[in-house]
Structure 1
Amino acid sequence: MSEPSPTPVRRRRRRLLRFAGAFVVLLAVAGYLGVQYLTGGVGAPRCKVVSANGDGASYEFTPEQAVNAATISAIGTSRGMPERAVAIALATALQESGLRNIRHGDRDSLGLFQQRPSQGWGTEKQIMDPTYSAGIFYEHLAKVRGYSRLPLTVAAQRVQRSGFPQAYAKHEPDATLLAAALTGRAAATLTCQGRPAATTPAGGPTSVRAALARDFGRDVFQEAGATVDTAGSSASPAPAAPDSAAPSASPVSPDSSASPAPAAPTAAATADRTVTVPVREGSDSGSATLRRGWELAHWAVANSSALHIDRVSYAGREWTAGTSEGSWHTADGKSGRDADDAAAEVRIVTGQ
């Protein structure tokens, strides 16, 4: 005997329950998207590097990856390693960890380069320190004879001894773009959205100085003469210990559709939030100075979310956090001779 058909009341009740369930799902999705917008959404690309050759090549990545890439590059150049070495290191880290400082991997592999404590790469604590892991990678790379002339896959493999040596090749284009920007050769090619997530540690000039010391070494203060502007005066900061720097893993910045940032505050309002890094004069008619300046400027942009950096200015160009594209633009009143004078220093304005 067939079951009786539902009464109109039951049908309406079921319909209402379906509608209510759908509404709850929509609210959950909307809430999730809202949280992702505010916190940046893990994995969403919010930084970008473009080719300086006009060929349209580009690579998008997260602020977490940007911080780690900037550290890898700075450790390399601070050791006197060439741009090619930085590209090899970046391609290796892209393959091994996706430029993320992870605590897992094959067997006891750890960190950016998936180095193994059991194979003599260092302790777990050391390997999980990006400055250490990058440094020991370069130490091994420097022992590879003629590495700069070798195919990238061969050079990387001689350091890593990977079971998949050809896997590094697919990352070479992106690593090459990153290396050109982060070593300063390709000017104004790296941008980030720059808005910190709610979980980002507090920034400010002290954190910027500590991170500079962590990545470039304490000599960045003596040789480049980094100073912190205060209201009406400048003073050389005490070198910060590398281990006092902010964590290397930086949260993700928000959607690139954010509204343009408001007009910049007055100089007096930002004086106590500004780190000024004078750039050393180069020996080849200023080109080394510009390269060093753009290296520091791109480093600051890459760290903008982690260190709450609002603006970076160099050589008459300026990057501002929170704009729709986060792109570099000509700074007001900086053209011609002013731009030349501005090449003598990198100015980093923090949000705190």
Structure 2
Amino acid sequence: MSEPSSSSKRRGRLLRTGAALVVLLAVAGYLVVQYVTGGTGPGCKVVSADGGAASYEFTPEQAVNAATIAAVGTNRGLPERAVTIALATALQESGLRNIQHGDRDSLGLFQQRPSQGWGTPKEIMDPAYAAGMFYEHLAKVPDYQRLPLTVAAQRVQRSGFPEAYAKHEPDATLLAAALTGRAAATLTCQGRPGTARTTGPDAVRAALVRDFGRDAVEEAGAEVGGAATPTPSPSAASPSAASPGTGSGSDSGSGTGDRTVTLPVPARGGADGRDALERGWQLAHWAVANASALHIERVAYAGREWTAGVTDGQWHATDAKNGDGSAGAAGAVRITTGG
């Protein structure tokens, strides 16, 4: 058999080089898109509060949904264990994604079925509603806090794979500790704002009402730029209402004051009786989890500050002044938006 000619070898090398270049360009393009848009890959991380090695990385989309699930649970006065069970269930059922498909007519974060009385398709696709329905059923399970997680989840879900929930318990435990505020400064996100469809203080306040309820937001006495903000309109309680406002909360371009939402933390934590510091850290972690969705640039609380886009993405101690020039204090959470 004759050996290939030199021209054939050159053509072969060129083809291989060209193919490699195409692959590299495709990868580079993908990475650019992920960076600009906030991506679908891990952009958030939660770690153990005790300094252990346990951690969980997840996406901005998952972070928003997890924060909603936690907010709905604590707003109902439910314990951290209930939030852990709910998060583990959503991790198994949907990967913490609000999906519009599933087995038969299953939908949403918890794969609830309209035909089984969980609500209309539109209701089930509302994460706050879906989480509320899960908790409503979980609260009816006798001694659910003492049951193994997989048993408690199965009593609600009636899944064909009841043991599957258990594998998500470690990650759900980390998330619940952070998103209920028990574990301080343990949740971080890169905060890339490319996918933000709603921005500004009004959008932040509407999202707070959506997840925590109007009473919780009014109790906190949210302020924008140092002035108390008006109560949101009734339509602000729905996810579709989370849109930029034109009132006192909009960015007028006069500095960060007009772009900052201040949430005073009541000395006793709130009507649910939770510790004040925990309540503050829940609000602060909620803001970080929503950073990409709401174009949040900075969150400051209890002498610590998180800033979007910082390489390490960690919470850093602040001096007497927060990064936005305001006095650092444990009594308020300050959320600065990008517009």
TM-score normalized by the length of structure 2: 0.88
**Which of 237, 255, 260 lines up with 1:269 in the alignment?**
255
CA contact (8 A) 2:38 2:191 kept: no
Do 1:227 and 1:235's aligned partners in 2 also have CA atoms closer than 8 Å? Answer: yes
Matched residue, 1:343: 330
CA distance in structure 1 between the aligned counterparts of 2:297 and 2:208, rounded to whole angstroms: 16
Within the alignment, does 1:65 sit opposite 2:62 as a pair?
Answer: yes
In the TM superposition, 1:64-143 aligns within 5 A as 64-143=61-140
Residue 196 of structure 1: CA displacement?
A: 1.6
Write the distance in 1 (CA, Å) between the matches of 2:100 and 2:84.
24
Q: 1:320 matched to which residue of 2?
A: 307
Q: Which residue of 1 aligns with 2:283?
A: 296
CA shift for structure 1 position 54: 2.4
The alpha-carbon deviation at position 227 of structure 1 amounts to 1.3
Match of 2:250 in 1: none
5 Å-filtered alignment, 1:150-229, equals: 150-197=147-194, 199-229=195-225
Q: Which has the higher contact order (CA 8 A, sep 6+)?
A: 1
Distance 2:257 2:63 in 1: 27
C-alpha separation between the residues in 1 aligned to 2:121 and 2:311? Answer: 40
Residue 281 of structure 1 is matched in structure 2 by: 267
State the aligned residue count: 322
Measure the CA separation in 1 of the matches of 2:9 and 2:162. 63
Identity of aligned residues (%): 72
- Taking the aligned partners of 2:3 and 2:183, their CA distance within structure 1 comes to 73
> Unaligned 5+ residue runs, structure 1?
248-266
Shift of 1:305: 0.6
Deviation at 1:24, TM superposition (A): 3.5
SS of the residue 2:263 aligns to: strand
2: CA distance, partners of 1:17 / 1:151:
58
Q: Out of 270, 289, 297, which is 1:310 matched to?
A: 297
Q: Specify the SS of the correspondent of 2:306.
A: strand
Amino acid at match of 1:224: A
1:234 partner letter: A
Instruction: Tell whether 2:228 aligns with 1:242.
Output: no
Q: 1:116 to 1:341 in 2, by over 3 A?
A: same
Amino acid at match of 1:226: A
Q: Displacement of 1:7 after TM fit?
A: 6.9
Partner SS, residue 49 of structure 1: strand
Residue type at the aligned position of 1:208: V
CA deviation after TM superposition for structure 1 residue 344, in Å: 1.2
Structure label with greater radius of gyration = 1
Task: Name the CA shift for 1:25/1:144 in 2 (closer, same or farther; >3 Å).
Answer: closer
* Higher mean displacement: 236-245 or 14-23: 14-23
- Distance change in 2, residues 1:33/1:143 (3 Å): same
- Which consecutive residues of structure 2, in runs of 5 or more, have no partner in the other structure? 244-252
Secondary structure in structure 1 of the residue aligned to 2:255: helix
The CA distance in 2 between the partners of 1:14 and 1:161, in whole Å, is 58
State whether residues 260 and 335 of structure 2, in contact with CA within 8 Å, keep that contact through their aligned partners in structure 1: yes
Counterpart residue identity of residue 29, structure 2: G
Local SS of the residue matching 1:342:
coil
Give the Cα separation in 1 of the matches to 2:89 and 2:13: 56
Q: Could you tell me how far 1:237 is from its partner in structure 2?
A: 2.5
